[in-house]
């Protein structure tokens, strides 16, 4: 009888937890069954990926200091849904954090469109310096408050480059090609400006779409070749370096605002620490990915004349600035940072 009772409670707990995640019910409601507040983090990368390594560092930092109160749980591989779905869950508070590309945040705050602007940063040094300026970034991070979330920190996602079944040496080679881009209006416009047909879809669908011939290629960092296995179905990766789009740690606003001063400080420190860990891991894993793609997967790396691609998208930069006043200030700010690192070509 006792056993049956215990089992029923456990089943009830599991069911309400599952329903809670699906419906957006506050997980705090379950505090009577579990003393610790469970914090759920969703992301779409694998367990090995630098994002997961960073999230585990975030978890460890928090649990070492606040472990009696919080149990941080990381869900990789889009286990809680793709990035769009996970953002929705974070908005409602069904989960607490999601790692999302700024491209996925454009529809919530116009300022995020800036990162999709092709050739925005002149060098990796300028990119990192701009992103590490928290005083400047603070306003941007808070620009999604109305949508129910804010950003705590950024992560490196390298430079985005075209990869195709056939070699891309000049923008002419993109003519008539169907290329998957992120689900962002600015990325669609960029792809079209380069002469290709843009095919927006979620990241998880790309492998099959290439394999089945629905698209001719995609554009992403080198990790996509190995970690997402795109190098199995694509053999030419072309360094046109059209964008550097960061990933962001997005937090449910109510949760983060509900923390007391000391807890908030620890969560912010944990976020910064996770960025340091991620940056280090990124360099290491990208070097490995290139090696594996080239030597084990037979991918050829091409180094085209970047200027040819830059020429094609110059009018788009002007257009974006004219159409979206929200990006003017950050654009000027980044140009200033670019100037400080003059000569530092990527
Ligand atoms: C990169 C990026 C992800 C993004 C993905 C994509 O992997 O880090 O945040 O979702 O590209 O192209 O969709």
Please report the pLDDT score of residue 33 as a whole number. Answer: 56
The answer to whether residue 181 scores a pLDDT higher than 50 is yes
Confidence of residue 3 (pLDDT cuts 50, 70, 90): very low
Which are the contacts of 202, defined by CB distance < 8 A and separation ≥ 6?
82, 83, 84, 183
Q: Which residue has the tokens 């991070």?
A: 141
Mean pLDDT is highest, among 6-10, 14-18, 23-27, for 23-27
Cα dihedral sign for 208, 102, 76, 7? negative
Lowest mean pLDDT among 22-36, 57-71, 222-236, 237-251: 22-36
Please report the pLDDT score of residue 208 as a whole number. Answer: 98
* Predicted confidence (pLDDT) per residue in 298-312, tens digit: 999 999 999 999 999
Our mutation pick for probing the ligand 1 site, out of 41, 42, 43, 44, counting the most ligand atoms within 8 A of Cβ, is 44
Confidence of residue 342 (pLDDT cuts 50, 70, 90): confident
Please report the pLDDT score of residue 91 as a whole number. Answer: 98
- Residues with beta carbon inside 6 Å of ligand 1? 44, 83, 101, 157, 182, 203, 220, 247
**Strand pairing category for 149-155 and 97-101:** unpaired
What's the pTM? Answer: 0.90
- Structure-model confidence comparison of residues 31 and 279, the more confident one: 279
Residue 326 has what DSSP assignment?
Answer: G
Ligand 1 center–CA 201 separation, angstroms: 11
List, in sequence order, every residue forming a beta bridge with 74; answer none if it has no partner: 41
Ligand 1, residue 51: give the atom nearest the CA: 8
Confidence of residue 343 (pLDDT cuts 50, 70, 90): low
The answer to whether residue 5 scores a pLDDT higher than 90 is no
Lowest mean pLDDT among 6-20, 213-227, 283-297, 316-330: 6-20
Nearest CA to ligand 1 atom 11: 220
206 sits in which H/E element: helix 206-211
The answer to whether residue 171 scores a pLDDT higher than 50 is yes
* Predicted confidence (pLDDT) per residue in 153-166, tens digit: 999 999 999 999 99
Percent of the chain with pLDDT over 70: 89
Ligand 1 center–CA 281 separation, angstroms: 17
Ligand 1 center–CA 203 separation, angstroms: 6
Computed over every residue of the chain, the mean pLDDT equals 92
Please report the pLDDT score of residue 284 as a whole number. Answer: 98
The answer to whether residue 185 scores a pLDDT higher than 70 is yes
Nearest CA to ligand 1 atom 13: 203
CB 163, CB 223: distance < 8 Å:
no
Percent of the chain with pLDDT over 90: 88
Compute the CA torsion angle 100, 106, 108, 111 (nearest 10 deg).
Answer: 110
The answer to whether residue 14 scores a pLDDT higher than 50 is no
């Amino acid at each position: 009888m006792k056993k049956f009772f215990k089992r029923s409670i456990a089943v009830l707990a599991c069911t309400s937890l599952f329903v809670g995640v699906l419906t957006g019910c506050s997980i705090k409601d379950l505090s009577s069954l579990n003393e610790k507040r469970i914090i759920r983090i969703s992301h779409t990368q694998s367990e090995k990926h630098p994002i997961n390594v960073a999230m585990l560092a975030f978890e460890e930092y928090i649990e070492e200091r606040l472990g009696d109160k919080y149990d941080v749980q990381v869900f990789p591989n889009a286990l809680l849904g793709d990035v769009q779905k996970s953002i929705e869950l974070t908005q409602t508070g069904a989960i607490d954090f999601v790692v999302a590309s700024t491209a996925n945040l454009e529809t919530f705050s116009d300022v995020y469109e800036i990162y999709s602007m092709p050739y925005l940063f002149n060098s990796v040094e300028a990119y990192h310096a701009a992103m590490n300026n928290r005083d400047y970034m603070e306003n941007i991070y808070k620009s999604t408050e109305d949508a129910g979330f804010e950003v705590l920190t950024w992560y490196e996602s390298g430079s985005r480059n075209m990869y195709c079944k056939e070699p891309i040496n000049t923008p002419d080679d993109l003519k008539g090609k169907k290329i998957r881009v992120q689900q962002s209006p600015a990325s669609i416009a960029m792809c079209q400006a380069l002469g290709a047909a843009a095919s927006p879809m979620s990241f998880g669908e790309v492998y099959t779409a290439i394999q089945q011939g629905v698209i001719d290629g995609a554009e992403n960092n080198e990790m996509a070749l190995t970690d997402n296995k795109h190098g199995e179905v694509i053999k030419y990766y072309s360094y046109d370096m059209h964008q550097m789009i960061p990933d962001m740690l997005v937090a449910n606003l109510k949760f983060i605002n509900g923390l007391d001063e000391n807890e908030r400080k620890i969560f912010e420190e944990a976020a910064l620490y996770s960025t340091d860990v991620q940056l280090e891991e990124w360099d290491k894993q990208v070097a490995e990915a290139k090696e594996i793609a080239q030597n084990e997967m037979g991918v050829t790396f091409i180094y085209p004349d970047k200027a040819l691609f830059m020429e094609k998208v110059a009018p788009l930069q002007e257009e974006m600035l004219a159409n979206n006043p929200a990006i003017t200030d950050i654009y000027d700010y980044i140009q200033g940072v670019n100037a400080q690192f003059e000569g530092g070509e990527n």
